[in-house]
Amino acid sequence: MKHAVVIGGTRGIGAGIAGELRRKGWRVTATGVGADEVAACAAQYPDETCVQLDVRDTKAVTAFFAGIGQLNGLVNCAGILARGTEYEIETFEKVIDINLTGTMRCCLAAQPLLAASGGAIVNTASMLSYFGGPLVPAYSASKGGVAQLTKALAGKWAADGVRVNAVAPGWIETEMTEALRADPDRNQPILSRTPLDRWGKPAEVGALAAWLLSDEAAFVTGAVYPVDGGYSAM
């Protein structure tokens, strides 16, 4: 059975990806930063390994992957935004450290295991990899960085047999977007701009991530795939 680690897999889009991988027969280890969300994950999915991990802690990340053993897929989905406060440099640095540098930490720690198995990485970019977000400059910068990091690592690690791709979600139904969905003045413009006229679901991002980790995507690397209902095409 193939084994995937989903960083940030205990909630939101990460949980949707973990669920799709489980459905397709993968053994999943999901990480989360909060003890409560990790405990809730373990209670809901007793056959899944749920681990507390802070991607800002290089030693903890290294130790985590050192104890993994077999690894066939890595999904980096840990991320935060701090709408309206990212112009404060401390907040800016925190968002970058989690979203971008944390992704790099996990990629570096997992690479030897993935090279041994011929595995693959899926990073989580965003539609804000392409658009500026005036209220979230750190989030926008971090997700632009994730897209470019994905391409750089794909080129570097192709010779080792490790594929690296990214998904770029648009407006997805998660806790992070709950306030926007509840506000008609924010919700309606989003739907009006989205050709499919609805919000996406975490499992829909998960379906693409699972395909990118699969053997069916064996000739795909360095790609960043939008999952946004056509939003970025408009």
| Closest among 89, 177, 169, 87 to 128, alpha carbons compared | 169
Rounded distance, CA 105 to CA 232, Å?
29
Residues known to be catalytic: 139
- If we measure between CA atoms, which residue out of 23, 9, 102 comes closest to residue 58? 102
Which stretches does DSSP call E strand in 15-158? 27-32, 49-52, 73-76, 120-124
- In whole angstroms, what is the distance from residue 206 CA to residue 201 CA? 9
